[in-house]
Amino acid sequence: MESTVTFLDAIKTCFSKYAEFNGRASRPEYWYFFLFLVLASLVLGMVSNTASGIFSLVTLIPSVAAATRRLHDTNRSGWLQLLWLVPLIGWIVVIVFLAQEAKEPNQFGSRSDELVS
C-alpha cells in the first residue's frame, strides 16, 4: 500500500533529504518531486533560460538522491541511474524501474522507517 504523500510534502521531503542517498522514497514522493522539477523548470524557462539552468544545477543533487531512494524502494541499486546514459533503451528501463511498486522485504530498509521521519 502506497503512503499518502501530498505534492508539498514530497517537495519538502526531497529538499530536506537534499543529498541523502540512503533509505527509500515512495512512488508518490518521487513522482510529485519530479513533477515539481519539470513545472518549475518550464516556468523559469519562460522567464529566463539562465534562471532555468541555475535551477536545474541546484536541483541536480536532490533529484539524483530522490531517484536513488526510489530505486532502493524497488530493491535496486541507485547506480542503475547510469542507464540514463544509454539513449532510448536505457531511458525506458530506468522509467520502468522508477514506476514499479515497492518490494518487500527489502535490503535497503523497511518502509516503516521512512514513514516515521
Closest Cα to residue 27, out of 62, 75, 67, 61? 67
Give residue 116's pLDDT.
41
pTM: 0.85
Instruction: Give the pLDDT confidence of 28-60 residue by residue, as tens digits.
Output: 999 999 999 999 999 999 999 999 999 999 999
- What residue ranges do the domains of the chain occupy? 7-116
Greatest CA span in the chain, whole angstroms?
46
Task: Evaluate whether 100 touches 72 at the Cβ level (below 8 Å).
Answer: no
Which regions of the chain are under pLDDT 50? 1, 113, 115-117
Per-residue confidence (pLDDT) for residue 117, from 0 to 100: 42
